[in-house]
Amino acid sequence: MRKLLLVVLLLSLSASAVCAIELRLMTGPEEGIYYQLGQEMSAVTDSTGVHLQVLPSQGSWENIVELFNSNTEFAIFQVDAFVKASKNLYQNTSARIEDEIHVVMPLYWEEVHLLKARDNNLDFSKQKRFVVGCGMASSGSCLTAAVIEELYGKKFQYLYDDYATAIDQLKGGTVDLVVITAGKPYPLLIGESGLELIPLPQLRQAANFYSRAILGPEDYPWLDHEVSTYTVRSVLATMIHEEEGLANDLVGSVHFSLRVNETELKKNGHPKWNDVLFNSYNPDLGHVGALRSLTVCKVLKDFGYRCTDMVSGK
């Protein structure tokens, strides 16, 4: 009887396997963490018959716009993009973003790096206007820069280019500040020199999407002290609406594939898998398919099994 129950539960989350359905996942630049995580997600969902076609992009803002326009079924983005989208994309509609876009799984924290050249004596707290580099126009870093601009009452003039070029422009004096939102330690910055991180004083308004974070010498050897900043969580989200049947099964299959492969992903995947909240669910934002997956894992636990025991060969 116990084996029969387990088989029924697992089949309910892998019903799409017989269909070999292909869905799209928007990530980020091919050299970035989002893209690598996307490739590793696709590798583990294939076994359920859900193939995730991993699509590169400029980053969080482009991803959420593409979700909004139904050009992808899944996307990875920063939570501040979600908040910004609710203001910008849904302000003239009767819909709420929470009814359209749902979180499948919370991923990892990304720290806000507000950088200046060490030999530049600018004072962020007192000056009003800055020329800012933040990556490409649709990146999460540029979205974060826009949030900082609004929060602190600044005026930013933006130059859009890749991060490496932005750092060169910072050292050459073409830009005053560079904003990079990325999980620490960000590889591009580890071996740098001649840079300083600007602390961001805590503001109550920022608590809607940011948490406090510390960057220090253990993250970047060129730092000689700790710097207070913000961190924002990235999420895997979907535009597949909550419905009975296949729609919920598809999202549940993706979530369950990640959940049962948690150990493998943490061991052999990108290090940021260690920060992923595999068991987390927010009833206001989460997709019911993810809740079904978590419920199956709970039932398995009640019968003395772990979800990770469901990986083939265990």
How many Å apart are CA 252 and CA 288, to the nearest integer? 8
> Does 15 lie in the same domain as 25?
yes
CA distances (Å), origin 147, targets 41, 126, 210, 211: 30, 18, 11, 14
Report the SS3 class of residue 65. helix
> Does 240 lie in the same domain as 133?
no
Dihedrals φ, ψ of 162, to 5°? -70, 165
Q: Which of 174, 208, 233 is the last residue of a domain?
A: 233
> Does 208 lie in the same domain as 193?
yes
> Does 172 lie in the same domain as 95?
no
229 strand-pairing partners: 213
> Does 101 lie in the same domain as 243?
yes
Highest mean pLDDT: which of 16-20, 68-72, 107-111? Answer: 107-111
Look up residue 258 and give its two tokens.
């990640």
Give the list of residues 6+ apart from residue 1 with CB closer than 8 angstroms, or none.
none
| Number of C-beta neighbours around residue 12 at 10 A | 16
pLDDT reading at 3 higher than 60: no
> What's the pLDDT tens digit per position in 113-165?
999 999 999 999 999 999 999 999 989 999 999 999 999 999 999 999 999 99
pTM (2 decimals)? 0.87
Are 135 and 301 a contacting pair, CB within 8 Å?
no
> Does 219 lie in the same domain as 114?
yes
Looking at residue 175, which CATH number applies to its domain? 3.40.190.10
Q: Which of 188, 210, 233 is the last residue of a domain?
A: 233
pLDDT reading at 172 higher than 90: yes
Q: Where are the alpha helices (DSSP H) in 89-179?
A: 97-100, 140-151, 163-172
How many Å apart are CA 51 and CA 74, to the nearest integer? 12
Domain that holds residue 288: 2-108+234-310
> What's the pLDDT tens digit per position in 251-297?
999 999 999 999 999 999 999 999 999 999 988 889 999 998 898 88
How many Å apart are CA 220 and CA 242, to the nearest integer? 43
